Chains A and B, each alone.
Chain A
Amino acid sequence: EVQLVESGGGLVQPGGSLRLSCAASGFTFSSYWMHWVRQAPGKGLVWVSRINSDGSSTSYADSVKGRFTISRDNAKNTLYLQMNSLRAEDTAVYYCARVLVDSYGRIQYYYMDVWGKGTTVTVSS
């Protein structure tokens, strides 16, 4: 079964750091680009970051650029999000998601077809 399981969320004070993990199983993790998407309580989805299959290329939303770092360990089938200088507005459920590979085998970089259940990050004093 294809599965993504996030962990590492919790309560952290403003200015603090947290590292999220996303364990992948049931597919060849090293072949897929991956994304992080977050959702503040009662709010909509917000794209956070993406990484290519070998970890050599990354992109970030302006709101987290310079504070968050996405990375991956293909040997451990795990995606990470290192979050530093956390702010109250970073409070959200954080989802990791796998990019879609369509029926023709084409990688669809901008679409996410497998999602984890999310991990909750709360930034508060």
Chain B
Amino acid sequence: QSALTQPASVSGSPGQSITISCTGTSSDVGGYNYVSWYQQHPGKAPKLMIYDVSNRPSGVSNRFSGSKSGNTASLTISGLQAEDEADYYCSSYTSSSFVVFGGGTKLTVL
């Protein structure tokens, strides 16, 4: 099972909005609305930010939003803050195994 495709890095200035893409296939992202996003700070465990494409778990800021079109899902962070600097991973249910993650995107807040 190949990892979902994410850009290696994105950057933005405080207050701006950024979008991270996550491209899969019809066997994962495109075939199911079981896409999620995780935030991971260095040396820490991942944190669930978005599930079911666009739902936020309790306690997650509404600055984080998700969407999907075809085989590509997206995470948008608005009003960028310094503490948003982290690695972000998408994941999806996949018919071939169970869950597949993306390769990760490093977000730099300039």
Contacts and interface: CB of A to CB of B under 8 A. Distances in A.
A45 B97 contact: no
B45 A117 contact: yes
Contact of A62 (B1, B3, B51, B101): B1
B89 A45 contact: yes
B104 interface: yes
B61 interface: no
Dominant SS among interface residues on chain A? strand
B57 A110 contact: no
Interface in B23-70: 34, 36, 38, 40, 45-48, 51-52, 55, 57-58
Given A45-B104, A103-B58, A116-B45, A61 B1 contact: yes
A103 B57 CA distance: 8
Interface residues on B, range: 20 to 34
Interface string A46-89: 11001000000001111000000000000000000000000000
A45 to B, nearest CB: 4
A110 B91 contact: yes
Contacts of A103: 58
A113 interface: yes
A47 B99 contact: yes
Interface string A10-43: 0000000000000000000000000101000000
Contacts of B36: 110-111
B97 A59 contact: yes
12 contacts: A44-B87, A44-B102, A45-B101, A50-B98, A50-B99, A61-B97, A62-B96, A100-B57, A102-B51, A102-B57, A110-B91, A112-B46
Interface of B: 1, 3, 34, 36, 38, 40, 45-48, 51-52, 55, 57-58, 87, 89, 91-93, 96-104
Given A45-B104, A110-B36, A113-B48, 8 more contacts: A35-B99, A45-B46, A47-B97, A61-B1, A62-B96, A95-B45, A116-B45, A118-B45
